[in-house]
Each structure stands twice: as structure tokens, then as C-alpha cells.
Chains A and B, each alone.
Chain A
């Protein structure tokens, strides 16, 4: 289909190789008589498009439904310029910039991404990204363990760190003797509850900001407690929130991880997304992942190269900081373009829009008897609603009105059956919020 040879080409090539047939090239395969694959014949481009359009149409997208679903993946507007640039073949058909002389486009964009993430998080440095927020958290744990060279074997995870990030840490750490603490604390407790778990064997304490329930906390005391015990302090962020909120560096974060999807990356049923990873300069050699650094070429021009690759698997093999070999290339580029377009005012405006809409929605929900939205807590664009009946039922009911209500918290927190996690973004006009309120109120009366 995409192979170009004519019969004459093929004949000439076989002759140059010195074999009689294509089959001769495969003489060393063990099973020369492999039956045909039990797969259909190929389709033309027109037919394939038709088929895939049909499959896509079966899905009910957030363009058709009214969505208040967040829980780690958010429905945000993506400026047209982002995808227009991502579709340049110069970017998306290149690979890892091993040859810097012909990869300066990718390298400069990595360098700019690192700079933008450092500015956003308040940290010294950022790597060129990980697979997603959850794997970035796992790499943070990995880095902390490496830093202490096995002398500290405990890690404390806040119960309000994204449940799938916590699960990923468990999987990554299966082969180590790491002890993971903190997850079974009361999910509705205070961040300071974690302090009593910190001791001389603690390598890392990780919290989320805003946390999985959307709440904003002052982590200063917790960060200090971690540092007093000689442990590292990690903060997992939502990058849009940092358009408005203090950066985690102000809480003394040593490592900042985050899910970068809100920065111009489509929901796309969960991926590909972007794992943000930033830290202090002193830990640069303990950090995994690609890094671009500034230098000059032999003509005296400023340029960039991948640097500190001695940390990486292709040189250090079993002693590498991680087995990771790529970054999230194109997703990283999307977020670089997105942050460039928004700039300081745009990101603040976007964060405010999310903040105000979410607060309006929560306030309105609180007028409905039996419903209580995030009582007495500071939050950003997401909040917990305590429903008068199981969240699963509320979601089911809302879906009949083409509304995706939110995330049923009992899926991750047994005992929170009536807890519904709702997100509101700039994509929810007021009439959608009012429609939600009308339905909830009507059903509540019924």
C-alpha cells in the first residue's frame, strides 16, 4: 500500500543482492509455511476513513454531552494555532534529536518547554517530560530512592494524590523494598495528618495541589516536617491552577510533578498526555528523562543539544536512573505552544475563568436540598459534592439528560458512595451549569 517498488525494481534489487526471490531473503525463519494471517484484505484510504468515521460516531463525545467530568483529565479549549503547528511534518515525523545539527527545531522547543515549566512551577529545572502525570510521580519516587542510595526505604503518599498515580507507584516499585505509607489515612482529613508518618527512613512525601478533591491547601508545615526529617517533598500539580495560585516552590517542594494534559492536549480517551517533572538544580543528575542544554556550534551560533545523557539507559544500561528513553515529544510541543500563546495574562485569565465558574456551580448546587458542595474548603476548578444518594445513581440519572455528572468517588475511596467529584472549566457556559442545577433540583423534588 505504501511500498513503492515496481516489479522491475524488485527484480533488479534481488539480482543485486544475489538471490532469486523474496522468499530466499527469509530462509532463516523457522516456520517457512506460516499460514496467511486470519485478517481481512486491506482497504483503500476512502474505505478506511468511512469505517473510522463510523466508529468515531458511535462515541458520545464531550461536544455532544454536557461534561463535568475531570478527575485528572480536563476538557479545555485548544487554540487553533496549536494543532496547526503540530501537523508540521518537520516536527511530527522527526525522532529523538540524536543529531543536533539537523534537530534544532525539536531541541529548541524542548529547551523552551523546560524554561516555561520552570517559570510556571517556580523550580530551577525541568526535564523534557515523562509519559503522563502518574508515571512522573513514579519517577519522582524512583529519584528519591536513588538519591538516598537505598538508605531510606519509605515513601508517604497523600490519600488525595490521584488514585491512578498511587497505583502506578505501586506497580513501578514492585521489585524494590519500598514501603508505601499514608494512603489509608482518612481521605477527608488534613494534610498535616501525614506528619506523624514521617521519620528518618522517609525518602519522599508527595501531595497533590490542588488535591484530587480539587482542594487547595497550604503545605508549608508538611514540607518543613519532611525537610526536618531529611526527606524530600514532592508536589503534584494541575498546571492551569498555577496561573492563579502560588507555585509549589513556595511550599519548599523539591520535586514538582504534574499532568500536563490541560495545556493544549485533547482528552483523547486518556492519552497521549504529558508528564511534567521539575526539580532543584542540585538533583539534576538524579533526575530521569531527556534534557536539552544550551551550547554553541562550530560556527559560533547558539544552539542546543541533549545533555547529561550519561544518566540514561543507552550509556549506563543497568545503572541508569530509569529505563525511559523518549519523552512525550509532540505533547510537550503542544504544551509549549499553548503556554506561549496564553502567556502570563492568558493563563491567569483562563485560571480565573475556571475558578469563577466552578465556584458559581458549587454555590448553586448548595441551594439544592440534600446536596452539599465542598463545604468550607478552598478549591480551584473541581469540588466534591455530597449527594443525598449514591453518586453512581446520580450519574446514571444525569446521563439520561446527556450530562456527564462527575467521578464517582467510591470507585477509589470505599465509604464515599455519595461523593461526586465535579469539574467545571471554561468549556462550560453558564447555561450548562444552570441546566445541571435544574435537573438536580427537579430530581431532588421528585
Chain B
């Protein structure tokens, strides 16, 4: 039985919180501006707790079970990060306080900038972007500004491999770029010949994800960057898949000029049911003065007696701010806690185990699920969710059936270049026992697909909700509810 909405639970004169009586004289109210009606629900605190606790039980999360959503890096979110982020010294500081009163916060941001720079090889980092897509927008605007500041206004072409995230073309279009798609070769790398034909003096740059969305490290990455640089273009790196590279490869050293990090993927800040993310951007030295401001700088080194001093700095040719204030500070606290907990060896350990887990699961299922581009993968791999001798079954059916085993399905229908794609990213925090159980379930599902396809078509069976009617939702477009018309009468 589904939980009622908070509006359906409402009853006149109930309250979830009371405020103190005013301790000042009451002022005249602005009569012309007062609202007549405020149709919000009225519920007690206990009902609020029970309501949201009840609906939370309908969710799957990393704390509950395996969550191999490809390219999303659903790793364990350490609890210490949550405790630390809630220290009053972090939650109760105002973004516009004078720098001398927030040296801890500025120092923390500076440290995080330094850690990210060291891990990636970039010269400078801005923490401001709020999410991966926001970091992309920042990066592409930086590329645009770089060319225009040199008077090179004809560079409007952005190359995007066909395996890219949908955000890449959307970002380029938002930034006034013209998108040209590049095919992949038979090993899943960017097709070098196709790239060469697009390399001319209108090229602004290329947006590349490495490891790519097939989970493959582009074997030609250095050459790709070189070709683009040779004609004056810049290389944008989508850092969504950085988890595979920690301590193993610095993207800047492969030729990438600007890249965003996803703190909510690689650096364990929680995904929060869709956000908040955090998408800092790293750049090579030539682009440092274009970063969105403010960034944090250390203006005084400090010594044994006096602490260093940190301040905000607006880069000289900044593209401008991409949001209010300084970025998702609460996420910076969590990410830095994670980083210092791991240290240099722990970071390498993350990459090694993420890659080990993905390859292990791939090895366990690849004889049953066709894996195109069958070579060693990085942190994830893409299998096909279809069989010629089970014509009714699609990737979606396999996914829905996986829920009955207590697992979140992989990413479906992405990347677009693989038919019926199942994009699987186990992450480094899963045990061998979990991976064995997942493989066993997937093999059983494959068998069912051939022998009892109906079981998949009607899945899931054991979840609190069955398949939902998306066509009805899109046609009816019921996007809100409200208190009933006769509320409070009776």
C-alpha cells in the first residue's frame, strides 16, 4: 500500500515545529502585500518523520545493496565524512564572512585544490562548479575564452566521440559551439583517421572521456591530444571516470588541457538521490587565469609561530562566476576527509581494486553476455543485454529482473554505440562474495531469458512497486498535488 502524500496527511491546526514568541514590539505589516492563503500541509513532527522514513524504504541505495550504475561510481560513502561535514565550524559559516574569520575553510579549500592538482597533474583548480555537467560548461567556456582572447574567433567546432555522455554535446551547444561527432574504431578508441579529417583551423577542441564510457582506456590518447594541439585546438577531459586512474595516470600528462572532477563519484561524496554533486575544474598553466573566481590562494606562507594566511583570488581573465558563492563547500569537506584518510597509497588502492572488480565481474559473465570490444577494461565494462535466441528480451527486462535479487541494475541504453547496453561499474568497495552473487544472478537471469522469458518481461516481482507506466505519466502530466478544495471545511 503506497504511502499517502504529505498533503493527504494534512489536518488543520497541526504543526511540526513552533517558534519563540517575538521578543520585540510588533511592527506594522505591509497591508498591500499580505498573502491571503498559504496552502501548505499541516502535520505533526512525528508524522513527518514517519512519512519520510516510510517512503525512504522504497529506495535502493549504496548502504542497502550492490549499485553498479555505470559511469556513476556508486562507491561506499564513508560515515566519518558525514560527521565531519556537520561540525558547526563548517555548517555555520557565512560565505561572505571576512577571510580572517574563515581561515579554516579557506585553508581546507586550498588543500583540496592542491590534492586534486597533484592527483591529476593540473596546474590550477577552481572548486566552484556545482556538478559534473556544470564543470563541463565551465571547461568549454574556458576553451572558448582562450581562443577568443587570442583573437581567434573562427574556432567554433567541438569534436565529440560517439561514445560520449549526452552532457558533452548539450554543454557544447549551450556554449555556442558547433558539435561534430567522431566515430570509434574497432577497439573502442577514437578513430584517428576520422579525427585527422576534422583537424583544421576552425577546431576549438575535443571533449574526451578517458577511460571512455565503454570502460576502455583510449590507447591513442597521447596521439589524439597531439593531433588536436597541432592545429591549435584544446582538449577537454570529462573526469567522470577518474576512479580508474588514481595514482596510476595523471590526465594532464597525457595531453588534456582542462578537466572536471566529480567529487560525488571519485571522491566518495554521497549522490544524495540526484545531488548535490560537485564538479571542480583543473587546468594547465596557460588556462589558469581563465578559471571562474574566486579560487583560494595562500598569500602568506606562515612559519612555526604564525599560521599561513589564505584569501580569495579572482583570476585575471576569469570567465566569471558560474554560480553564487564558492561552490559546494559541504562536499569539499567530505572529499578532503576522504583524501586524507586514503593518502597516496590508499588512492592507488582505489584504482587498482576498482579495475580488478570490473575485470573480475566481466570475466565471470562474458561467456553468457556478449561484451563487445572484449579486452581488459578499466573500472567498468559494457555488455549487451540481448540474445538472438531470446528475441523478446531487452536489456531493460534483465535490469528489472536484477532488482528481484536485491541488486540495482546497471546503466541501461548507454553508451548509444552498443545495442541494448548494460554498463556495469562495480566500484572498489564491493567484496568478491558480492560479485560472485551478482554473476550467479545474472547467469540465472540469462537462463530464464531463454526458458521463461515471461518472468523477465513482468519483473520486478519482489520489489514494493512493479513497472510504472511512463506513457501515462507523460500524457497526463500530473506534476503537483495540493490540499483538497474543501480542506478545513467540515
Contacts and interface: CB of A to CB of B under 8 A. Distances in A.
A111 B480 CA distance: 6
A390 interface: no
A310 to B, nearest CB: 8
26 contacts: A3-B428, A31-B250, A37-B348, A38-B118, A53-B89, A57-B89, A87-B82, A90-B57, A102-B59, A119-B40, A125-B479, A132-B130, A266-B330, A267-B91, A268-B90, A271-B325, A293-B473, A293-B476, A295-B468, A295-B473, A298-B469, A303-B468, A307-B477, A323-B173, A353-B19, A353-B20
Contacts of A31: 249-250, 253-254
Contacts of B276: 131, 271-272, 328-331
B416 to A, nearest CB: 9
A246 B346 contact: no
Contacts of B17: 79, 81, 341-342, 346
B16 A340 contact: yes
Interface residues on B, range: 35 or more
Given A61-B89, A303-B465, 7 more contacts: A25-B352, A51-B340, A95-B273, A111-B481, A305-B473, A307-B473, A343-B15
A373 interface: no
Given A313-B167, A330-B273, A56 B90 contact: yes
A385 interface: no
A120 B410 CA distance: 38
Contacts of B490: none
Interface stretch (A170-178, A181-189, A197-205): A170-178
A92 B6 contact: no
Contacts of A175: 141, 144, 174-177
- Report which residue of B30, B56, B84, B268 has the largest number of chain A beta carbons within 10 angstroms of its beta carbon: B56
Interface stretch (B297-305, B355-363, B383-391): B355-363
A317 B32 contact: no
Contacts of A313: 133, 166-167, 169-170
Contacts of A98: 69, 411-412
B118 A37 contact: yes
Interface in B297-345: 307, 319-331, 333, 336-337, 339-345
A426 B20 CA distance: 8
Interface string A89-127: 111111111111111111011011011101110001110
Interface string A64-79: 0101010111010101
Instruction: List 5 tightest A-B contacts by C-beta distance, closest first.
Output: A175-B176, A56-B89, A270-B325, A42-B343, A89-B63
B359 A17 contact: yes
A102 B340 contact: no
B41 A295 contact: no
Interface stretch (B72-80, B192-200, B280-288): B72-80
Contacts of A39: 115, 118-119, 339, 343-344, 347
A221 interface: no
A125 B482 CA distance: 11
A95 B344 contact: no
B445 interface: no
Contacts of B330: 266, 268, 271-272
A443 interface: no
Contact of B90 (A1, A99, A269, A433): A269
A295 B27 contact: no
Interface string A32-73: 001011111111110011011101111111110101010111
A61 B88 contact: yes
A16 interface: yes
Nearest to A24: B376
B27 A52 contact: no
B353 interface: yes
Interface stretch (B216-224, B229-237, B448-456): B216-224
Interface string B429-458: 111100000000000000000000000001
Given A293-B474, A330-B275, A339-B40, A319 B173 contact: yes
Contacts of B408: 99, 102
B345 to A, nearest CB: 6
Interface string B376-418: 1000000000000000000000011001000011011010000
A149 interface: no
B5 A108 contact: yes
Q: Which of A29, A268, A297 has the most CB of B within 10 A?
A: A268
A2 B1 CA distance: 38
Interface string B149-189: 00000000000000001110111111111010000000000
